[in-house]
Amino acid sequence: MDRREFLQLLVIGYTYGFIKPSLAQQDINYEIPSFGNLRLIHITDTHSQLKPVYFREPNYNIGVGINKNQPPHIVGDEFLKYYSVDSELLKYAFTAKNYNKLAKKYGKFGGYAYLKSVIDNLRSSANGNSLLLDGGDAWQGSAVSLFEKGNDMVEASNILGVDIMTGHWEYTYGEQQLRKNISNFSGEFIAHNVKLTEEAIFDEVESFDGNYFHKPYTIREINAVRVAVIGQAFPYTPIANPRYFVSNLTFGIQQNELQDLVNKIKSTENVSLVILLSHNGVDVDKKLAKDVTGLDVILGGHTHDVLPSPVIIENSNSKTLVINSGCNGKFVSVLDLNVRSDGFEYKYKLLPILSDFINPSKIMNDHIDKVYRPYNRELNEVIGMSNMDLYRRGTFNGSFDQLICESMVNVIGSDISLSPGFRWGPSVLANDQVTMNDIYSQTAITYPNTYRREFTGETIKNILEDVADNIFNPDPYMQQGGDMVRTTGLSYTITPKNKIGRRISNLRDKNDNLIESHKKYMVSGWASVNQIEEGKPIWEITREYLQNIKIYEEDSLKQPKIKGESDNIGIET
């Protein structure tokens, strides 16, 4: 598209009323002409961020095995080169380069009122021949969603017009609350890989045919195109999160069952397109696309990765487009398809949602104002400041995680602290005020309590080895989610290409003494998945620490030493 066409489309946007004129100065276009006979609109991992946020993309996103140096494991300059990105605005959207400076220039991303304006226009320009699909992790992640048990986000999803979704963190409200939320959801919540346990079947817990906990798939006819959408919830929910939230349920990737379901749909449903709405993560989706024939499109989530163009996976019988749409409402994927009896043509666009350049939806803004009103006083309280950008996303430590870890060491009193490698959580710019809402946006879970107990050096190493294997196992099906556990009071060397038991070495304490296998160390942590803890919630610990020090002042972010990855373009220091 040349500049004349671009400006013509902007005029259409002004007429529609959702684009602000200042956007004409930028290299982005929310007016996408209709192509083909079906438009798929995809969002994922919004994590209940109803309002616009900053979100810094990682400068560590390490891939291993066949995924080393392959999308999505590319960052920084290599990412920009791979996708031929040269505009400053898109550099800001897609990478961590010059993050603070560009954030101040271009502002925040997302926010449901801005998402709705863009999505409504995308649906209108497709003459209604569209589906809005949500990949999950929509109903958890903010203070308000925690307080409201996801009810605020169910209504936001309804206002947004989500047609179909699957899930992951939605399950951490527990089965009973999840059922209530789904009953209030106007769309369909689907997952073929969530079934009842034998005990739940015996107890006659409510299910769909075949003991599915959810409807496994749905058929939609759009513009004379029959589309099958299969749901795939996060396969490792009972491992990555406490089992007691889903005690009646089984999960898993269930590759063979998925192949059987695809075969059944193709033989009985007369469909022209088969979509997997997935919360697997990109690497798992790529392997699944290779191993399961008959999937045309995988719309994925979970790993929060940004893919400006689809990854195309070919096997002997089919071709699959693998798409991922980032997180926190920062992006919307638009996949236009011209579906024929013998296949399809497509056009794809990943749209950054720059809220400063979009007029918000009034109906969504009214909803957001209503649900925040009872909590504004608490959430707007200023707790302190930081002299460095606070962020989370990245294979290793994030600066907000470092703040959380140091809070535990100082408030609870421990030699070492451990914090889970959650990927969700917006960023806070250096020297901006840190509010209680910011702290909740990093910690708003239903199992937030802290612990303090003695671990041997051997136990500490085994914890690091176990988490590292979840991340760096060369078989994507063995990667069970999250980034590396965050630590304070502990340094170590990691060799990602090694096997389990040999990745972690040179463990040292804060005084640079080697960690001894049989020596005991006082360790603090939170978000335990194995037992219910009794310590204060982590947001209270972080609040107390930051209120006491007033300004979090750090010279640098502490990262482990990485060995054997000098050629890894998933690293940009």
For 172-292, list the strands marked E by DSSP.
188-189, 195-196, 217-222, 225-232, 249-250, 273-278
The pair phi, psi for residue 464, each rounded to 5°, is -65, -40
Q: For residue 178, how far is the Cα from the chain centroid?
A: 19
What does the alpha-carbon distance between residue 375 and residue 373 come to, in Å, rounded to a whole number?
Answer: 5
Cβ atoms within 10 Å, residue 318: 16
CA distance 299 to 285: 9
CB 96 within 8 A of CB 75: yes
| C-beta atoms surrounding 446 within 10 Å | 16
**Cα separation of 289 and 244, whole Å?**
31
Alpha helix stretches (DSSP H) within 126-247: 143-148, 151-160, 175-184, 198-202, 237-240
Give 491: exposed, middle or buried? Use CB within 10 Å, 0-12, 13-18, 19+.
Answer: middle
Alpha-carbon distance of 527 to 502, in angstroms, equals 26
As given in the structure block, the two tokens for residue 343 are: 């296949």
Q: Under DSSP, is residue 541 helix (H, G, I), strand (E, B) or coil? A: helix
What's the pLDDT at 202?
Answer: 65
How far apart are the C-alpha atoms of 74 and 56, rounded to whole Å? 15
The runs of H, that is alpha helices, within 418-492 are 436-443, 457-472
- Dist. CA 85–CA 89, nearest whole Å: 10
Whole-angstrom distance, CA of residue 501 vs CA of residue 490: 18
Q: What are phi and psi of 104, to 5 degrees?
A: -65, -30
Maximum C-alpha span of the chain = 71
Residues 120 and 450 sit within 8 Å (Cβ to Cβ): no
Measured CA to CA, the distance from residue 275 to residue 39 in angstroms comes to 13
Per-residue pLDDT 10s for the chain (573 aa) are: 333 333 344 444 444 456 666 544 455 778 899 899 999 999 999 999 999 999 999 999 999 999 999 999 999 999 999 999 999 999 999 999 999 999 999 999 999 999 999 999 999 999 999 999 999 999 999 999 999 999 999 999 999 999 999 999 999 999 999 999 999 999 999 999 999 998 877 667 777 777 999 999 999 999 999 999 999 999 999 999 999 999 999 999 999 999 999 999 999 999 999 999 999 999 999 999 999 999 999 999 999 999 999 999 998 778 999 999 999 999 999 999 999 988 899 999 999 999 999 999 999 999 999 999 999 999 999 999 999 999 999 999 999 999 999 999 999 999 999 999 999 999 999 999 999 999 999 999 999 999 999 999 999 999 999 999 999 999 999 988 789 999 999 999 999 999 999 999 999 999 999 999 999 999 999 999 999 999 999 999 999 999 999 999 998 899 999 999 999 999 998
294: left (phi > 0), else alpha (psi -120 to 50), else beta? left
State the Cα–Cα distance between residues 102 and 443, nearest whole angstrom.
Answer: 26
- HSE, CB side, 13 Å, CA atoms: give it for residue 179: 10
Which residues in 353-503 belong to E strands, given as ranges? 382-386, 416-421, 433-435, 450-456, 483-488, 490-494
User: What is the per-residue pLDDT for 410?
Assistant: 97
Q: Which DSSP category does 412 fall into? A: I
Distance CA 415, CA 489 (A): 6
- 373 — phi, psi (to 5°)? -55, -45
> What is the C-alpha separation between 546 and 400, in angstroms, rounded?
12
CA distance between the termini of the chain: 35
pLDDT at position 17:
58
Task: Tell me the Ramachandran region of residue 253: left when phi exceeds 0, alpha when psi lies from -120 to 50, beta otherwise.
Answer: alpha
Q: Is 81 helix (H, G, I), strand (E, B) or coil?
A: helix
d(CA 306, CA 303): 9
Q: Among 74, 519, 546, which residue's Cα sits nearest to residue 282?
A: 74
CA distance 309 to 306: 9
Measured CA to CA, the distance from residue 481 to residue 467 in angstroms comes to 9
**DSSP tag of 439:** H
Residue for token digits 């020297």? Answer: 431
Instruction: Tell how strand 130-134 and strand 38-43 pair up.
Output: parallel
Residue 107 half-sphere exposure, CB side, CA atoms within 13 Å?
Answer: 15
d(CA 416, CA 352): 39
Cα–Cα distance between 287 and 77 in angstroms, integer?
A: 27
Measured CA to CA, the distance from residue 177 to residue 186 in angstroms comes to 16
Query: 561, exposed or middle or buried, with CB in 10 Å at 0-12, 13-18, 19+?
Result: exposed
**How is residue 53 annotated by DSSP?**
B
Q: How far is CA 99 from CA 109, 153, 204, in A?
A: 13, 29, 53
- Please report where in the chains the tokens 């070919």 appear, as a residue: 314
Predicted confidence at residue 201, as pLDDT, reads 74
- Nearest CA to 24 out of 42, 39, 11, 40 is that of 11
What pLDDT, in 10s, does the model give residues 361-387? 999 999 999 999 999 999 999 999 999
Q: Which domains does the chain have, with CATH numbers?
A: 32-53+108-369 (3.60.21.10), 380-562 (3.90.780.10)
